Structure 1
Amino acid sequence: MSEPIGAAASIGAVVRRTTRALAYLASSLVVGAAGFAWTLVAALAVGLVSITHLGGPAFLGATWVTRRFADAERRRAGWVLGAPIGSPYLPADRGTIRERVTAVATQPATWRDFVWLLGLFPVGLAAGIAAIVVTVVDLGAITAPLWAWAVPNPHAPFPVKPLMTTVPGRFGLTVIGTALLPVAAWLLRRGGHLLASGAHGLLAPGRHRDLVEETARLAETRRRVVDAQAAELRRIERDLHDGAQARIVAAGMTLALASRKLRPGTADRPGTDNRPGTANAAADVELARRQLDEALAELRRLVRGIHPPILTDRGLHAAVAALAGDSPLTVTVLGDEADRYPAAVESAAYFVVAEGIANAGKHADATSCTVSLSRSGDTVNVTVTDDGRGGADATGSGLDGLRRRIEALDGTLTLTSPPGGPTILHAEFPCAS
Structure 2
Amino acid sequence: MTASSEQPRARRRGPRAMADAVVRAAAGLVLGAATAAVEVVLLAVAALLMAYALAFSRGQRAVPGIVADGARRLTELERRRLALLGGSGDGGYGPLRALAYLVLRAPVGLLGGIILVLIGYGAAMAAELAVSWWITGDYLDGIPPTWWIVLYTAVVGLVLLFVAVQGLVGVAALERAVARRCLGPSPLAEYERRIAQLSVTRAEVVDAVDDERRRIERDLHDGVQQRLVALGMLIGRARRAGDHERAADLLKQAHEESQRALEDLREVTWRVYPAALDGEGLRAALESVAERSVVPVAIGYDVPGRPPHAVETAAYFVVCEAVTNAAKHSGAGRVRVEVAGSATMIGVRIEDDGAGGADPSGGGLAGLARRVAALDGTFAVHSPPGGPTVITAELPCG
**TM interval, short-chain normalised:** 0.5 to 0.7
Are 1:369 and 2:349 matched, yes or no?
Answer: no
Cα contact 2:277–2:313 (8 A) shared by 1 = yes
User: Which amino acid letter does the alignment assign opposite residue 251 of structure 1?
Assistant: L
Higher RCO (Cα < 8 Å, 6 or more apart)? 2
Q: Which amino acid aligns with 2:197?
A: R
Distance 1:73 1:208 in 2: 29
1:350 equivalent to 2:316? Answer yes
What does residue 254 of structure 1 align with?
A: 234
2:47 to 2, 6, 25: 25
CA contact (8 A) 2:50 2:64 kept: no
Q: 2:384 aligned with 1:384, yes or no?
A: no
Equivalent residue letter for 1:29: A
Measured in 2, the distance between the counterparts of 1:233 and 1:341 equals: 26
Q: Tell me if the contact between 1:318 and 1:337 (Cα under 8 Å) persists in the aligned partners.
A: no
1:425 to partner: Cα distance: 1.9
Change (3 A) 1:390 1:28: farther
| Match status 1:300 vs 2:322 | no
Q: 1:354 to 1:343 in 2, by over 3 A?
A: same
Q: Is 2:187 the counterpart of 1:217? A: no
Q: Compared with structure 1, are the counterparts of its residues 301 and 88 closer, same or farther at alpha carbon in structure 2 (3 Å cutoff)?
A: farther
The alpha-carbon distance between structure 1 residues 203 and 413, as it changes in their structure 2 partners (threshold 3 A), is closer
Asked if the contact 2:303/2:341 (under 8 Å) is kept, the reply is: no
Question: Residues 248 and 363 of structure 1: is their aligned pair in 2 closer, same or farther, counting only changes over 3 Å?
Answer: closer
Q: What is the match of residue 72 of structure 2?
A: 78
2:174 maps to none
Aligned length: 282
Q: Structure 2 CA distance, aligned partners of 1:289 and 1:20?
A: 87
Aligned match of 1:133: none
Letter of the 2:51 partner, please give it: L
1:389 shift after superposition = 5.6
Q: Unaligned stretches of 5+ in structure 1?
A: 1-5, 40-65, 90-112, 125-196, 262-270
What is the DSSP-based 3-state SS (H/G/I as helix, E as strand, rest coil) of the residue aligned with 1:284? helix
TM-score (norm 1): 0.53
Does the 8 Å CA contact 1:73/1:199 hold for their aligned counterparts?
A: no
Residues 367/213 of structure 1: CA separation in 2 closer, same or farther (3 Å cut)? same
Change (3 A) 1:354 1:34: farther
Measured at CA, do residues 318 and 80 of structure 1 come closer, stay the same or move farther in structure 2, by a change above 3 Å? Answer: same
Distance 1:76 1:226, change over 3 A: farther
Percentage of identical aligned residues: 35
Instruction: Give the one of 333, 353, 367 matched to 2:299.
Output: 333
Q: What's the secondary structure of 2:381's corresponding residue?
A: strand
CA distance in 2, matches of 1:71, 1:319: 61
2:391 equivalent to 1:411 = no
SS of 1:426's equivalent in the other structure is strand
Amino acid in structure 2 at the alignment position of 1:342: P
Q: Measured at CA, do residues 247 and 70 of structure 1 come closer, stay the same or move farther in structure 2, by a change above 3 Å? A: farther
Q: With the length of structure 2 as denominator, give the TM-score of the two structures.
A: 0.57
Kept in 2, the 8 Å contact 1:380–1:430? The answer is yes
1:229 aligns with 2:223: no
